[in-house]
Structure 1
Amino acid sequence: MPNEFLVDKSSLLQGVTRYIEKNLINGTFLIHRALLRQLEQESKQGLVTSDIALEEIEKLKELSERYLFAVELVGKENGDTEQELRNYCLERGCNLLTADELTKKMADLLGIGVTFLDPLPEPLTIETFFDESTMSVHLKEDAVPKAKKGKPGDWEFRIIRDTPVTGGEIKKIVSEILNSIRWTKGSFIEIERKGSTIVQLSTYRIVITRPPLSDGWELTATRPVARKKLEDYALNPELVKRLEERAEGILIAGSPGMGKTTFAQALAEYYMKMGKIVKTIESPRDMHLPSDITQYSKNYAEIGELHDILLLSRPDYTVYDEMRNDEDFRLYIDLRLAGIGMIGVVHATTAIDAIHRFLNRVDLGTVPGILDTVLFINKGTVEKVYSLEMTVKVPEGLREADLARPVVQIKDFLNDRVEYEIYVFGEQTMIVPVGRLNLNTLENRITRAISGVIPDAKVKKENGEYVVEIPREGISSFNRKINTKLRKLEKKHGIRIRVKLQDKES
């Protein structure tokens, strides 16, 4: 009697037909109706893994005609699929064919015959598209393959093959990727939704989409080309001191592909080497960190679960990569207010845009307690560093003393100059660029408005207003045109300008 093998989903994803073609396994292959029902339901839900498994069954039938072996449809559709497969093997005395370690272990415990498919040592097609300078590969059905080559902030988009990639070719690559997950360390399906699948395959982050979500099969594979240490960034010693001693509410901002996650990774390792307990929250998990740092997946845990785990385990720092929605920001805020050091990574075109995303989620007075250091990453370098402080004052641009109120000052950390002020005016939270209201800047503008006609005029600030002092011999040159310019400056900047004659001593 020939060997009989009842296939499960893992053996189909592993590519049982490859083992048949290499003459590593032969006999009669049995397909259980309960498995077909499961694959049909999952395929209707848009799961890519089920589509791949169904296509493998089709290929198995084609091979049976070429190599003259039998493929039989067996069993009934009732009940749990795994239980149905086990029961059928016990009744018929056939072997359960699997590539899943847990299924093999359970079969051994239950006394069920089992044949385990060990991984085949074959190179992955997706790896052939990469070289040492490739950041990401972009494959789209009926389009030529392209790749980003270079480094964060300094890359080129290049065609890497002249002939378009077909849908069948992408499916084959996807099948290889899914097959290799079980035996490649640090690999897993991070997210599987209707029409999309996100896979972490060792150092590769792979996003797969298919119709109807996309207009054709598409695969994007990203690989980090740079793994930096914090020392490689040549940071200002004062900034390093702040990161070591004071910074506990850190925000890392920047545009996509500029090196935010690479910097966050370097900072996490730096804190670990300082003897700090560091954990990460990622979606998907694509940081490459030492085993001392625990990496949590937001996709495999409820937000409340992560909240409880981190509050109870009390890490010194938690890196929250790719903060996007309200839940992400709320968790960051809650953990920070609980006293846990937080490092958040957000997409933003400017550093102030990143801060703005917190303002509608918390009271103004708590902002400096949540965020104390904001780093803006551009082209792989730290381009801007802000510190946040709370004070009570009359906001710049306002003059009345009774308008004093709590103001969050956003300072350029390296020169301690205030660049923005945040305060509540009426019911609206205002973010005002102080640079435009800077005394020297306004003095220069007022001076330029009058110096062409009265070169010896002087401008200074007294008691919240700007005073233009005109020499007595220049009073005859003061005309309506100059006065109009000064009134426009008043209106534009919300300031007051007063004109007077210079004292004789001046």
Structure 2
Amino acid sequence: MTESSKDGQKIVPDTSSVIDSIISEGVDRGDFKDARIIVPEAVVAELEAQANRGLEIGFEGLEELQRLQDLANKGKIKISFHGTRPNLDQVKLARGGEIDSLIRETAIELKAKFVTGDRIQSMVARAMGIDVEFVKPEPKELGPLLIEDFFTADTMSVHLKNNVPPMAKKGSIGDVRYVSIRDEPSTYAELKEISRELLDRARSDHNSFFELSFSGASVLQIGNMRIAIANPPFSDDFEITAVRPVASVSLEQYRLSDKLKERICDQRGILIAGPPGAGKSTFAAGVANFLNNMEFVVKTMESPRDLQVPDEITQYAPLDGNLENTADVLLLVRPDYTIYDEVRKTKDFEIFADMRLAGVGMIGVVHSNRAVDAIQRLIGRVELGVIPQVVDTVIFIDKGEVAKVQVLKFTVKVPAGMMEEDLARPVILISDFETEKSEFEIYTYGEQVVVMPLGEEKERKPSWKLAEGEVRAVLEDYSKGPVNVEMVSDSRALVKVREKDMPRIIGKGGSTIDDIEKMLGIHIDVRKSDEKGEKKRQEEKDTSPHRPIIERTDRHVILNVPELAAQDVEIYAGDTFLFSATVGRHGDIKVRNDSTVADSVIEAVEEGEAVTVRSL
């Protein structure tokens, strides 16, 4: 821009040049000496409309007009306003170029130099024969930001609010403290200056950008900091929140098993779950880096884009404000993996499912208090039978550590707690990845979707052992093979026998089993045993009798069998069953001296009968 050519000229700025402070900065450099700045009323109207909607660019433009007035008062320039104010329809059509057209008409009418920072505006003006000067905003030296003064090495986030002392979250992910970092409260003027600096940086730094801009709220990404600026009417007072990652973690630091790493590499549907601040996004970034190093094509879908990933991984924001459009583009890009940061709303789960079913390896970040809660968030949003195809692994993060990994499997079975075979239905089994122990079942019951915790094995009552022995003794008269009896409640027993023995036990039309149930007062569910598995279990089981060391104290008769410590056993005198018990962890079975059981043991010893202990 040649300085002397604009001295004393009539200058018409457009909205972009006012917002970017092109005129005032030019005057400070010595440009526009004695120039007459003619501001179109259309510019004022557009800035006023933006400010009324709570957009910071509107406030910045109005502040620039105030600076120009100050320069005019100092005699450095002359300033005036010209033209007609646009009507409401023209303001609403500003994006379509109505306001820009009114501004250009002012420059044509006054035969003035037209100054703009908008490339498209300059091209249109030049095509119309207007004397136009396209001025790119001067790149500003990017020094430290005011808000950085509130951060220390262990600061995760800074929280500033008008008339409240600045607060910060400090520490590591596993040990976070919310502390005051200054005694004096923040002032409106201080927050306004910090806000203006942040907005300037978001516009001028190519590594920074606006994520969201609404009436009363703006979200910026500046370097590795995510900034949220809120002001009335959206919030009750002016507030600035700045969050930054305190750690960039390699996946090796999580000490994952090779089996889990292989599962992550197998293009699956994975949810990374955990409560807010647990370190989910840090772990997701570590997974992205790991997959990138394994030579997979990795992309991310984020709003805002704040994952700390290498340059090779492209981070995608909502396209035209919609992540569904982003997903359409990604399907054309064909990544091996997509990291979907913050899967929260129904539309997010639908997009995640659509991409997963299209064959893309998907890793989603979800807020939840338990691993199973992340799966429950899919219910009603994704068809139940499709859930294991959409998500087959949940990695739960707590305090920066991998606390639990669950896997999903689809099968058809009788749900836990139900006995009748005709109640079999499709069931989603949720199991612990390392132990392979089933922990939850998901299935439909009527119109309801049930998430049933399987929990620990029910505590077995001592009376159940006696009942099992009685049931076994009766059924052995009808079965030539082994009879396995398990009491599942006070009034119900599960019996497993060989398939060829089942007809004799059940009888014609169920008559035999009905008679047995009436005699015993117990409902009996007869099923076919796994003969191979039963044989293997019997071979592995130590059923040989053990001779205990028997001693009598003032209060107890003690049978000592340390080799059967902590096992359920039966005690016999010769071939006669005496009682059943659980051996203590030191190998002792204690019975009170004044009990009939103690009398039976002592009587057997005195008569020379062998007292033996057999493992169940």
TM-score, structure 2 normalization = 0.68
1:263 match: 283
Asked if the contact 2:140/2:204 (under 8 Å) is kept, the reply is no
Matched, 1:198 2:215: no
1:155, distance to aligned residue in structure 2 (A): 2.1
CA pair 158-315 structure 1, distance change in 2 beyond 3 A? same
Matched, 1:339 2:359: yes
- How many residues are paired up? 464
Q: SS of the counterpart of 1:144?
A: strand
Matched, 1:296 2:316: yes
2-structure distance, mates of 1:176, 1:17: 19
Deviation track 1:442-476 (CA, whole Å, cap 9, x = no partner) reads 33xx35x999xxxxxxxxx835626799987679x
Q: Find 1:240's aligned residue among 258, 261, 272.
A: 261
Please tell me the residue identity of whatever aligns with 1:48. E
CA pair 8-433 structure 1, distance change in 2 beyond 3 A? same
1:116, distance to aligned residue in structure 2 (A): 3.5
Deviation track 1:25-79 (CA, whole Å, cap 9, x = no partner) reads 5544332211111122223333232123223323432443346532221233346
Deviation track 1:391-417 (CA, whole Å, cap 9, x = no partner) reads 222222222232222211111111111
Q: Which moved more, 1:128-137 or 1:304-313?
A: 304-313
2-structure distance, mates of 1:143, 1:9: 35
RMSD between aligned alpha carbons? 3.1
Q: Find 1:55's aligned residue among 52, 63, 67.
A: 63
Q: Which runs of 5 or more structure 1 residues have no equivalent in the other structure?
A: 452-460, 476-502
1:348 match: 368
2-structure distance, mates of 1:21, 1:204: 34
Which aligned pairs between 1:51-200 and structure 2 lie closer than 5 A? 51-66=59-74, 68-78=76-86, 80-92=98-110, 94-100=112-118, 112-121=132-141, 123=143, 124-200=145-221
CA pair 145-87 structure 1, distance change in 2 beyond 3 A? same
TM-score, structure 1 normalization = 0.82
2-structure distance, mates of 1:427, 1:69: 76
1:250 match: 270
Q: Which moved more, 1:223-232 or 1:416-425?
A: 223-232
Asked if the contact 2:122/2:132 (under 8 Å) is kept, the reply is no
2-structure distance, mates of 1:32, 1:340: 53
Please tell me the residue identity of whatever aligns with 1:435. G
Asked if the contact 2:115/2:132 (under 8 Å) is kept, the reply is no
Structure label with greater radius of gyration: 2
Q: Which runs of 5 or more structure 2 residues have no equivalent in the other structure?
A: 1-6, 91-97, 466-483, 494-567, 572-576, 581-611
Q: Which has the higher contact order (CA 8 A, sep 6+)?
A: 1
Which aligned pairs between 1:482-493 and structure 2 lie closer than 5 A? none
2-structure distance, mates of 1:204, 1:300: 23
1:19 match: 25
2:475 match: none
Asked if the contact 2:569/2:613 (under 8 Å) is kept, the reply is no
Q: Find 1:462's aligned residue among 467, 480, 485.
A: 485
Please tell me the residue identity of whatever aligns with 2:358. A
2-structure distance, mates of 1:340, 1:142: 49
2-structure distance, mates of 1:282, 1:106: 35
Q: SS of the counterpart of 1:324?
A: coil
CA pair 16-83 structure 1, distance change in 2 beyond 3 A? same
2:294 match: 274
Please tell me the residue identity of whatever aligns with 2:102. E
Q: SS of the counterpart of 1:435?
A: coil
1:40 match: 48
Asked if the contact 1:90/1:112 (under 8 Å) is kept, the reply is no
CA pair 125-118 structure 1, distance change in 2 beyond 3 A? same
CA pair 55-91 structure 1, distance change in 2 beyond 3 A? same
2-structure distance, mates of 1:297, 1:280: 8
Q: Find 1:374's aligned residue among 383, 394, 397.
A: 394
CA pair 392-432 structure 1, distance change in 2 beyond 3 A? same
Matched, 1:2 2:8: yes
Please tell me the residue identity of whatever aligns with 2:389. G
1-structure distance, mates of 2:314, 2:16: 28
Q: SS of the counterpart of 2:237?
A: coil
Q: Which moved more, 1:348-357 or 1:168-177?
A: 168-177
1:287, distance to aligned residue in structure 2 (A): 1.9
1:197, distance to aligned residue in structure 2 (A): 1.1
Q: SS of the counterpart of 1:295?
A: strand
2-structure distance, mates of 1:464, 1:52: 78
Asked if the contact 1:420/1:433 (under 8 Å) is kept, the reply is yes
CA pair 298-108 structure 1, distance change in 2 beyond 3 A? same
2-structure distance, mates of 1:306, 1:117: 31
2:476 match: none
2-structure distance, mates of 1:219, 1:390: 47
